[in-house]
Structure 1
Amino acid sequence: MSKLKLSALDPADLEIISAHMQDAVMTIGDIRYLKQERKFALIANRFLWQTEKPPYERRRAGLSFDRVIEAKSQRIRQGANDAVLELLAISFVPGEEPSGTVVLAFAGGGQINLEVECIEARLEDLGPAWTTPNLPSHDR
């Protein structure tokens, strides 16, 4: 399977990235807000939903957002760099056009809110896929 490389400039594009990142897992230490560069980035192991039966696959991927004005988290333990988060969805709450808030919702109720000038996101696979016997399962 070829590596994925997507960009998002509007809510419909962001929905596609969200679908590909559903059930991606990452550690808090793999998430960065670069305030000076106005950039938010993370590295995650995304689940490849294209595989319909075991063995399932995951692949390392990078997700970044540009033009970020502010990043805030709720119910995420800051400083617990080894804590694992499971991404459920990425959504966009419009503000004054074209600004708004990108919401990254995690299993267990945690979330990260990115206040952005506009949607400008990129998702890119970073390496080969590997097999996993586990199908994602979580409390929503």
Structure 2
Amino acid sequence: MTDLKLIALDTEDLEVVSAHAQDAVVRVADMGYARKNQRFALLMNRFAWESDTPRGKGVRKRAALDFRGVTHAAYAGFDPAAPEGVLELLTIGFETTDAPSGIVELRFAGGGTVRLTVDCLEARLTDLGAAWAASGKPAHVLD
């Protein structure tokens, strides 16, 4: 399976990145905002939805998600100072405020969110090479 290297510069690109990051498991200790560098990054164990193991439990891959041009980061619904915390990423969205500026929102299961104020949308999702068999395939209850 080929490692992903994706960049998002508009909302359509971000939808692709979001789809590949859906159901990623993230340790709170593995995310952070570097104010001086205007970057927010996190490491994740993403579920490789694109893997070709339809009957198996699937594959997880170690990946990095990086946002540039970040001027502010806000957290809600979880304690960002709790390094043992684990979150499950559901979706990533972008709302324009004063083009090209806007708000990137990472939404996690259980109601947790990270809101990033950005000068413009620039996100990168990069697989880091490590891959292993998933313990199970994520499933969602649909209303």
Normalised by the shorter chain, which TM-score bucket?
over 0.9
Contact 2:41 2:64 in 1 (8 A): yes
**Contact 2:57–2:137 (Cα < 8 Å) also in 1:** no
Aligned equivalents of 1:14 and 1:91: distance in 2? 7
Deviation at 1:56, TM superposition (A): 1.0
SS of 1:118's equivalent?
coil
Q: Which residue of 2 is the match for residue 123 of structure 1?
A: 125
TM-score normalised by L of structure 2: 0.93
1:102 alignment counterpart? 104
- Give the distance between the partners of 1:45 and 1:29, measured in 2 at CA: 13
Tell me if structure 2 keeps the 8 A contact 1:54–1:133: no
Equivalent runs, 1:43-122 vs 2, <5 Å:
43-50=43-50, 51-122=53-124
Indicate the residue corresponding to 2:32 in structure 1: 32
Q: Runs of 4 or more off by more than 4 Å in structure 1?
A: none
Distance 1:65 1:139 in 2: 30
Q: Distance in 1 between matches of 2:109 and 2:8?
A: 23
| Inter-partner Cα distance in structure 2 for 1:68 and 1:139 | 33
2:75, 2:113 within 8 Å by CA — same for their partners in 1? Answer: yes
Are the aligned partners of 1:107 and 1:138 in contact in 2 as well (CA < 8 Å)?
Answer: no
**Counterpart Cα distance in 2 of 1:139 and 1:75:** 21
- Mean Cα displacement is larger for which, 107-116 or 123-132? 123-132
CA distance in 2, matches of 1:8, 1:72: 21
Unaligned ranges ≥5, structure 1? none
Does the 8 Å CA contact 1:108/1:139 hold for their aligned counterparts? no
Distance 2:134 2:21 in 1: 16
Listed one character per residue, the Cα deviations across residues 85-108 of structure 1 (whole Å, up to 9, x for unaligned) are 000000001111101000000000
CA deviation after TM superposition for structure 1 residue 2, in Å: 0.6
Q: CA deviation at 1:83?
A: 0.8
Aligned residues with identical type, % of pairs: 47
Offset of residue 136 of structure 1? 1.6
RMSD: 1.4
Tell me the distance in 1 between the aligned counterparts of 2:141 and 2:86. Answer: 14
* Paired position in structure 1 for 2:23: 23
